[in-house]
Structure 1
Amino acid sequence: MNAIEKTYILSGSSASKLGVLDLIIGCLYKHECYAYEIHTFDDNDVERFFFRVEFRYVGGGEFAEESLRSQFGDRAEAFDAVWDLRDSSTPDKVVILVSKYDHCLQDILHRHSIGALNIDIPAIISNHPDLERLAQWYNIPYFHLPITADTKPQQEAEIWSIIQKVDADLVVLARYMQVLSDDMCKKLHGRAINIHHSLLPGFKGAKPYHQAYEKGVKLVGATAHYVSKDLDEGPIITQGVEPVDHTYTPDRLVAKGRDTERLALAKAIKMHVERRCFLNGNKTIVFPGH
């Protein structure tokens, strides 16, 4: 493939009906598009067909994107389809929420800087001032919005205002140590990702890794999931796990856990912005990527 050729992603879900593959492949064929990566899944439980097709235009002249959108949309109505067509080079705008822990933020900013994540970061928001220098190093606007029990509604209103102002596609909670309100969770449904140690629900509350040490755990890990009003119980996107043994002190468990958190969160962001994740009730459909 020529390096300058544009590629696109057609993704979504439809009713499980005869003809849905013709809807997808037929429309692409008529518009001289070559599908080089195709993933599908039919969920019999809910009778929904999930699809993701990566393709490029191989015809002569200019790609008739609006014609494809129009014809696909007209036919898709009969299949109760919810779909999205996106130029795969277009970066998602990602707002990052963080508190004092910097390991996940550091990792995201580094991956972004080397082009490993196809994202723009128009804002970093924190309830503490500690990580402002890190944001300045990467030349990203940093918003310090302190919070107390009394000021939580006002603080969340400011967060929401920033999210809207920058037209964010995704919000990432990179160890943001505050619980979002039910109202905020509702506003961010399907476009907010959180990370936590996968020791939950076994070790809740303060110092989970110290609790794990006292129990002599043999595995530590992390779970990246979509935010929901049920704390740390949203639909799971990615999980990571690493073996440990009796030689691991609480500090070493924390260090191992942080490594796993970084990787799990980065994978989840990549899967989401590449349109590989689909909400399916309390679960997710996640098509594999590179």
Structure 2
Amino acid sequence: MTIDHEVSAEQRSREEDLLQRVLRSFDTCEDPRLDEIMRSLVTHLHAFVREVRLTEAEWNKAIEFLTAVGRITDDKRQEFILLSDVLGASMQTITVNNEAVGDATEATVFGPFFVENSPRIDNGGDISFGAKGQPCWVEGTVRDTDGKPVPGARIEVWEADDDGFYDVQYDDDRTAARAHLFTDEDGGYRFWAITPTPYPIPHDGPVGQLLQAVGRSPLRAAHLHFMVTAPGARRLVTHIFVRGDELLDRDSVFGVKASLVKDFVQRLAGTPTPDGCVVESDWARVRFDIVLAPEEAS
């Protein structure tokens, strides 16, 4: 809802004069890109202040909030990234930088829980390493936008366990629910994981207070992370989401895209599995075919 604030011509003139003086301060900037960014930032910031007629008390409150965001940030927690996520800025930046190319798979947020040097598994292996959750068979292909299979593509996968925690959130240095593998000569891949479940983003700090104040949930829709790389292809960072999850339309970081919502088909205990394993509990099965954009599309 926009409130129409009446402002006199003299007042508008004074405000515009200030904006122009700030913009002229960048006339000596020697970096064209920095100059463009700063002028646009200042223009939009001033427009926001003028549009909502921001009070001095509200501006001071905003500064207190950003100060609190900075204070809670350390080498293990990045509250500014969390703030960017919940405002949709992270997702918008990803959208801008991953332009649509043919039927290339859409990208989404990277998230804070990726870890380098994850264990390698063979096709058909298990990424769970004992993580709690329902077994889930994941399979698909990787191809380029011309429809050709991409052999040897590296696929990193990681997810939270059934309690909503990633391995790095525990204090015992475990490695679980993450691994990497490579596509076969036909571009195929397959592995066992666990069926994704919803979980909250960290909400015990200022960003959580913001969400509470505006009546928003910190919960993320259930998802499984992928990062796919191959020579000559644009790196893909994405998720897949569980069709039917009630959080799909209110994911706290706006990461859900319709093309990434997949059917996790439920199977009863004892139902034959694709690899012939015996699963003594209910399990799920999902297919995710991946299309990589060419590198020059980055």
Using the size of structure 1 for normalisation, the TM-score is 0.24
Q: Which has the higher contact order (CA 8 A, sep 6+)?
A: 2
**Which protein is bigger by CA-based radius of gyration?**
2
Using the size of structure 2 for normalisation, the TM-score is 0.24
